[in-house]
Amino acid sequence: MRVALTDPIEPAGEAILREAGHETLLPQGSGPEALRALCAGADAVVVRQKLPDDLLDHAPRLLAAVRHGVGVDMIPVADCTARGVVVANVPGANADAVAEFVVAQMLAAARNAQAMHAALLADGWGAARGRSEAATELRGRTLGIVGVGAIGTRLAEIAAHGFRMNVLGNRRNPQALPPFVAYAELPRLFAESDYIALTCPLTPETRGLASAAMIARMKPGAWLLNVARGPVIEEAALLAALREGRIGAALDVFWQQPLAPDHPLRALPNVLLTPHVAGLTRESVAAMSTVACEEVVRILRGDRPRNFVNPDCWEASRARRRALGHL
């Protein structure tokens, strides 16, 4: 069968597909039209960028959409479920990478590393050392984590056991929090935390979760760290608070990506900006490629995936396979 790759993957993943007898396809060009053309004759797609919402209108053979990662907001899941296309993802494969990245964000903010680097290059040794006057330690500070799943739990472990931080957590099932994380409703979490890490998926419930009301509750000098999705934060409210200089923000994801050259965030001194790379390390990319391709092989041979995002579609997926002559 033919497996579309929205972007190149690690050789180990491609080898799994080849060994199963499948052919891989890459897009010719970029943008939604290139993705529609890529998937037109594909039986499965490995997803590393957002698929067009109308993709299935242009992909009559598609049986599976497997996310090379965790967040499935890049896939039109509801349409896939309705049409019998199996959706799977790779939860946990990049948990260490993202958790460590958030720690890097906190350390950079606490020690004023970015400003110190710039001052050393532009103004010399003394000016750079002066930036250390605002430095703080992580020990004893409070980290609030919104979305304590695989990533949030790993981050909490590092913060609590490695830096001896106080950790607050918010998730739908408070009983599932680890013992070293104290449950907090969002108003308390935003009000008491020195660092707030957003590690939740983007859903209708989490869209705009970091609202103007929540941002207004943040301590002066607190930092909002977003490795989830841009729309989890209310953009206008964050920009207003940053312009006032009341808080800081370390953002790896944005409302529109790539970040526009003239976006006002670029001109603010109290931000750390990175291009959606928190989950990308050599180790995590290799793991995501391997597991995603194993899921593709499993689905294409007619088995249920291990990480089934839309299990309600199973009977419809069997009907789709029959209609396409695969059963």
The per-residue pLDDT for 281 is: 96
Cα(27)–Cα(233) distance, integer angstroms: 32
Q: In terms of domains, do 12 and 63 share one?
A: yes
In this predicted structure, the answer to whether residue 107 has a pLDDT above a threshold of 90 is yes
DSSP one-letter string for 32-81? HHHHHHHHTT-SEEEESSPPPTTGGGS-TT--EEEESSS--TTS-HHHHH
Which helix (H) or strand (E) segment is 152 a member of?
Answer: helix 150-157
- Helix, strand, or coil (residue 299): helix
Tokens of 142: 């409070």
Shared domain check, 76 and 101: no
Whether residues 61 and 156 fall in one domain: no
Asked whether residue 133 falls in the same domain as residue 177, the answer is yes
Q: Rounded to whole angstroms, how far apart are CA atoms 29 and 26?
A: 9
- Same domain, residue pair 127 and 208: yes
pLDDT of residue 134: 87
As beta bridge partners, residue 23 has: 2
99, 51: one domain: no
Whole-prediction pTM = 0.90
Residues 234 and 99 both lie in one domain: yes
Token couple for 254: 């944005």
Cα 251 from Cα 241, distance rounded (Å): 14
Evaluate if residue 317 carries a pLDDT over 90: yes
What residue has token string 């294409």? 300
pLDDT score for 51: 98
pLDDT band, residue 120 (cuts 50/70/90): very high
Q: How many domains does the chain have?
A: 2
Q: Which of 130-139, 204-213, 222-231 has the lowest average pLDDT?
A: 130-139
287 and 197 housed in the same domain: no
Q: Domain range spanning residue 206?
A: 95-273
Q: What is the pLDDT of residue 88?
A: 98
Report pLDDT for 327.
Answer: 73
Which tens digit of pLDDT belongs to each residue from 230-266? 999 999 999 999 999 999 999 999 999 999 999 999 9
Q: Are 240 and 304 in a shared domain?
A: no
Cα separation values, 221 from 27, 271, 322, Å: 45, 12, 59
Kindly state whether residues 181 and 130 are assigned to the same domain.
Answer: yes
pLDDT at 114: 86
Residues 159 and 260 in one domain: yes
273, 295, 315 - which closes a domain? 273
Q: What is the CATH number of the domain that holds 101?
A: 3.40.50.720
CA 286 to chain centre: 17
Q: Say yes or no: 176 and 317 in one domain.
A: no
**Per-residue pLDDT tens digits for 261-281:** 999 999 999 999 999 999 999
